[in-house]
Chain A
Amino acid sequence: MTFAFTILAVLASGASIFAYTKGDGSHVRGFRIAGSTFVNMLPLLFMAFLLAGFMQVVIPPELIRSWLGGEAGLRGVLIGCLVGILIPGGPYIAFPIIASIYNAGAGLGPVIACITAWAMWGSVTKIVFEITLIGYWFTVLRLCLVLLFPPFAGMIAAVFF
């Protein structure tokens, strides 16, 4: 998290300084866009974080884990995909859960389907932020385009590896 912040802070301040040196008030306009975006989205963002918080405490990892017990084949891959979208939060929350599913004996296919669905379809919490920050029309298109890829990735893993 500190690492991510450092990189973003360097990018943001570098871009701001560059805008300032142009001497035409670019930096003011940049800040104004950032400020107006932030203020406009604040209520929605706050609600998004609240929803993410409740997802984390209401859907316990044990429940998610129990679904994928000894499943294999297409059924396992499809369940893996569903599990993927229910896993809340970023990699530091998701990967320990996925690792515990893998260590509990789930096959390569379901686990790869799960990671790919978590990453590409997006866990529900990620979709909430997407709608908040870039609008639902983008989300609709993206979801339609990626729909088949997580089961496809899982099936390739199950059949060939």
Chain B
Amino acid sequence: MRNTFIAMSLATIILALTGVAAYGPEILIKGLTAGGKMFLEMVPLMIAALVFAGMIQVLVSGETINKWMGRDSGIKGLLFGGVAGALIPGGPYVYYPIAASFLLSGAEIGTVMTFVLAKNLWTLTRLPVEFALLGPYLTLVRFGITLLFPILIGLFANLFFSGYADRVRNQIAGMQGKVKTKGSG
């Protein structure tokens, strides 16, 4: 966590300095304003997402998650994760807290991977923008080619990286301030 913060600060500073070298010092104000504005716009969205993610952790029992998204859910779990990903609106500050909650409650790594990738590739709220700006042909070809990617990758992750999930879960638990919750029944 501390290392991530240091790395991210360094990246920001390097990028800011590159900007200053290329465009002059007023880029600092522009960057701070752009970042600050985004931050303020996203805070309400993020708070709603975090509350929802928190409630998932206490409301949805380990068995329920297991049944729908866990080890024995198989292809049904992948489809469920995919549909959830396609339907949930909002950016990464929304779906990553929810994905983290799924994992902590016992969802399989591949199911959560499918959820994230379906959000990236299938997301319904983005479709109108893509359609309007790039036209129906390109949108359909893009959608058609990438349609199966989330399921295929989720399947692959479940087959080969099941054991890796605990490493991910431990890290999330640490990041959430060590409130380990396995879902309550």
Residues of A within 8 A of B (CB): 1, 3-5, 7-9, 11-12, 15-16, 18-19, 22, 26-27, 29-34, 36-41, 43-58, 90-92, 95-96, 98-99, 102, 108, 111-112, 115-116, 119-120, 122, 126, 128-138, 141-142, 145-146, 149, 153, 156-157, 161
Contact = CB atoms under 8 A, between A and B. Distances in A.
Contacts of B57: 30, 33
B9 A47 contact: yes
Interface of B: 1, 4-5, 8-9, 11-12, 15-16, 18-19, 22-23, 27, 30-39, 41-42, 44-59, 89-94, 96-97, 99-100, 103, 109, 113, 116-117, 120-121, 125-126, 129-130, 133-134, 138, 141-142, 145-146, 149, 153, 156-157, 161, 164, 167-168, 171-172, 175-177, 179, 181, 184
B97 A133 contact: yes
Contact of A49 (B16, B42, B44): B42
Contacts of B113: 141-142, 145
Interface of B is mostly: helix
Given A57-B34, A130-B96, A156-B145, A19 B59 contact: yes
Contact of A12 (B19, B49, B142, B168): B49
22 contacts: A8-B94, A15-B55, A30-B51, A37-B177, A40-B176, A50-B36, A51-B8, A53-B32, A53-B35, A58-B31, A116-B121, A126-B92, A131-B8, A132-B4, A138-B172, A141-B157, A141-B164, A142-B116, A149-B149, A153-B146, A153-B149, A157-B145
A129 B96 contact: yes
A4 B89 contact: yes
Contact of A112 (B22, B42, B92, B138): B138
B5 A47 contact: yes
Contacts of B47: 34, 38
Contacts of B149: 120, 146, 149, 153
Contact of A30 (B9, B31, B58): B58
